[in-house]
Amino acid sequence: MVNRWAAALRFTGIGFYIGGCIAGGVYLGVWLDDKYQKSPLFTLIGLGLGLFIAFYGTYRMLKSALGQGNDKDDH
Amino acid sequence: MDPESMKWIGAAIAIGAGALGPGIGIGLLGYGAMTALGRNPEARGPIMTNMILAIAFAEAIAIYALIVAILLIFVA
Amino acid sequence: MARLSRWQKIGLITLVALLLLVLGCLYFPVPKPHVELAPEKLWTPGGFPITNTMITAWLTIVVLGLLCYFATRRMKLVPTGLQNVVEYAVEMLINFTENVAGKEHGRKFFPVVATIFIFVIANAWLSLLPGFMSIGFWHGEGEEQVLVPLFRGANTDVNVPLALALISFVFVEYWGIRSHGFLRYVRKFANVGRLFSGVRQVMRGHIRSGMGSIFNGIIDAFVGLVEFISEVVRIVSFTFRLFGNMTAGEILIFSMLFLIPWVAALPFYGLEVFIGFVQALIFCGLTLVFLVIAVTPHEEH
């Protein structure tokens, strides 16, 4: 029973991680934009960074959570 | 009646009446697919593929009606 | 923290979610959706307008190119990693093509049909990333400010589905002409053979059979004309099916976000993912079906 909750919480955590990274990146971009008045350039950079960190982190987390059986074949 | 309200009424009628036909059509397609699936559960793959294909044909008509409604509200 | 019971955990999570929702609604209000069917032009260097859907289409091309470059970099015979994923997708596509079109024609139809599928699905799924339709430039002044988005899904521009529909039409006609010969393929649409033979029979004196042949000939010619019209109307149907689905999905997500921010758009986001896949499959599948119809030998009487 406790395994189901742990797995569910871990996946919910991944969801919050994606949302938080993207929101954080965009918020940082918007704040820098307001400070330096360079139309949406910083927003885009912040968004790109946020997206990249979010998806790369998801890939790493899922790889460790799901790929425990796949690293043992022989090439 | 002023043109503004006629546009809104026109958009509502367009999508309302335009979704009747495709709704019935998709229901008939689903009925046919379920019947075929019940008679021959092993042919699940081809039945489902062809059903989705035919449903997209029927749904395109509803999308045409939706385009007319959107044109009436946002462009005209 | 003491061991909470199952219901207490559910209650706590619901409370936190509701709190986040209320804070989000208060501090980040969503503006009313402003819909414009035509894509907005951003810059006009040298008289050539660049619209935001054009930028997104270029982005799709770059993403697909990078994906294929990284997948084929160090190719192994037994694929692993990214090469495995891409090979799986290609294998599904070619199985689908060969199931519909048969083995020998399937290989010949595969390049254009698979490209249409991959392009449509990449456009549709890329437009779901955050940042599309929300980051852009503000035009207008004061209360009348309108956001001109920098990125907009490429399928929501009428030109992209129209271009794909024209490519599909030309491809179908090309294969029809190539497998039947130009005259026989045209004779499928302008089916006046029986009409002329009926007229010839009447002139030779066989009135009754001549009139029968003329009657059947007129029906044949009419059917041929209707088939030709349906071939051309197919372009319009393809265009508006893809355009309508994508634009309607985008407007739906805007409206849902405007009504209940953060939450109401989630099931519709899932629906958009599914609809993107289904529309790509429909475009590619219908092109395949029409190709098969154009290529099968016409029964002679």
What total of structural domains would you count in chain A?
1
CA-to-CA separations, A28 to A31, A44, C110, in angstroms, rounded: 5, 10, 45
Q: Encoding tokens for residue C43?
A: 């810059």
Task: Indicate the average pLDDT of chain C.
Answer: 86
What separation in angstroms does the CA of C239 have from each of C73, C162, C244? 36, 5, 8
pLDDT value at position C38? 84
Q: How many CB atoms lie within 10 A of CB C60?
A: 24
Is residue A6 in a domain? no
> Pick from C36, C248, C286: which is nearest to B66 by CB?
C248
Give pTM, 2 decimals: 0.84
Question: Can you give the pLDDT at residue B64?
Answer: 86
| A8 contact residues in C (CB cutoff 8 A) | none
Give the domains, in start order, of chain B with CATH numbers. Answer: 3-75 (1.20.20.10)
Q: Could you tell me which residues come within 8 angstroms of residue C53 by beta carbon, excluding any fewer than 6 positions away?
A: C39, C152, C153, C154, C156, C157, C159, C160
- Alpha helix positions (H), chain A: 2-36, 41-66
What are the tens digits of pLDDT across the range C248-296?
Answer: 899 888 888 888 777 778 889 899 999 999 999 999 999 998 998 888 8
The DSSP code for C263 is T
Residue pLDDT, tens place only, C182-234: 888 888 888 777 788 888 888 887 777 778 888 888 888 888 888 888 888 88
For A5-31, what is each residue's pLDDT tens digit? 777 777 788 888 888 898 889 888 888
**Distance in angstroms (rounded) separating the CA atoms of residues B12 and B70:** 10
Q: ipTM greater than 0.85, yes or no?
A: no
What is the chain A residue with the closest CA to C6? A5
Residue C164: pLDDT band with limits 50, 70, 90: very high
Low-confidence ranges of chain B (pLDDT < 70): none
Name the closest residue on chain C to residue A4, using Cα atoms. Answer: C6
* CA–CA min distance A36, chain C (Å): 16
Looking at the complex, report in whole angstroms how far the Cα of residue C238 sits from the nearest Cα belonging to chain A: 33
**Interchain contact, A75 vs C9, CB within 8 Å:** no
Q: In this complex, which of C129, C136, C150 lies closest to A51 when CB atoms are compared?
A: C129
